[in-house]
């Protein structure tokens, strides 16, 4: 279903765009014609992304920002409205792993931070850009989740709970958008060669895993106007099914 320039002229917001899957997704969406609004905390990573996007003949707007700053997210939504009047795609990719530990050992500050990034920030993004997505002829929102939301293995309780909450929130939002042009879905990328994966599985050989650039097109497909399903869990390994 992917067309080379299926995102031509569209404005796409990508969070966690300075490295890993977010970096790769931003590059892929830009190569398909989108103008990228790239959000991340790491300025250097955003500048590297901008260099690659420009070299490929596309353009980006860099937004160095901490996604736990809800007021900053609101300002971003206002800025997008003033400049473009709409948003065509949202890729909510930024995430926090936290600490892999028994539930009783989770520190309150770690619990608060993981939920702030994985759930709270995405809620604030939806709140800020909902009307902008509705202004698009085919507004698309996709949020990167994880199979951990379903497996909830021992020691993964914090991360799993946050991703399960994200899935539930997106399912509700997708239902609310049923009579609009907006589609909302979650994406399970599987095991990908990223810094987060290396932190979670330090003994694993990263070269046995697919690189972000291999997975990114499947993620970006979900913000294409051609993808017209909503409330779906799209799993790279298992296919897609309703949330």
Residue of 30, 32, 25, 230 whose CA lies nearest to 133: 230
Inter-residue contact 89 to 140 (CB < 8 Å): yes
Q: Angle at Cα 34 formed by Cα 210 and Cα 65, nearest 5°?
A: 75
**Burial (0-12, 13-18, 19+ Cβ within 10 Å), 80:** buried
Please name the residues in contact with 41: beta carbons below 8 A apart, sequence gap of 6 or more.
Answer: 18, 64, 65, 66, 67
Active site residues: 159
* First CA to last CA distance, the chain: 22
Q: In angstroms, how far is CA 183 from the centroid of its own chain?
A: 14
Backbone angles phi, psi at 41, to 5 degrees: -80, -30
Inter-residue contact 71 to 46 (CB < 8 Å): no
């Amino acid at each position: 279903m992917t067309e080379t320039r299926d995102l031509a002229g569209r404005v796409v917001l990508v969070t966690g765009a300075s490295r890993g899957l977010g970096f790769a997704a931003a590059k892929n969406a830009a190569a398909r014609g989108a103008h990228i609004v790239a959000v991340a905390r790491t300025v250097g990573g955003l500048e590297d992304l901008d260099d690659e996007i420009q070299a490929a003949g596309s353009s980006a707007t860099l937004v160095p920002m901490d996604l736990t700053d809800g007021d900053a997210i609101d300002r971003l939504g206002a800025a997008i409205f003033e400049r473009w009047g709409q948003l065509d795609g949202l890729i909510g990719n930024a995430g926090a792993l936290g600490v892999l530990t028994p539930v009783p050992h989770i520190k309150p500050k770690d619990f608060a931070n993981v939920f702030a990034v994985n759930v709270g920030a995405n809620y604030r993004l939806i709140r800020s850009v909902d009307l902008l997505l509705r202004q698009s002829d085919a507004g698309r929102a996709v949020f990167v989740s994880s199979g951990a939301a379903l497996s909830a293995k021992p020691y993964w309780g914090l991360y799993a709970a946050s991703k399960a909450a994200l899935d539930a929130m997106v399912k509700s939002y997708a239902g609310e958008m049923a009579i609009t042009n907006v589609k909302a879905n979650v994406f399970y990328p599987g095991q990908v060669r990223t810094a987060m994966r290396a932190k979670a599985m330090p003994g694993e050989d990263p070269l046995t895993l697919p690189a972000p650039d291999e997975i990114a097109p499947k993620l970006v497909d979900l913000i294409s106007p051609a993808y017209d399903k909503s409330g779906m869990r799209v799993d790279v390994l298992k296919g897609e099914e309703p949330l």
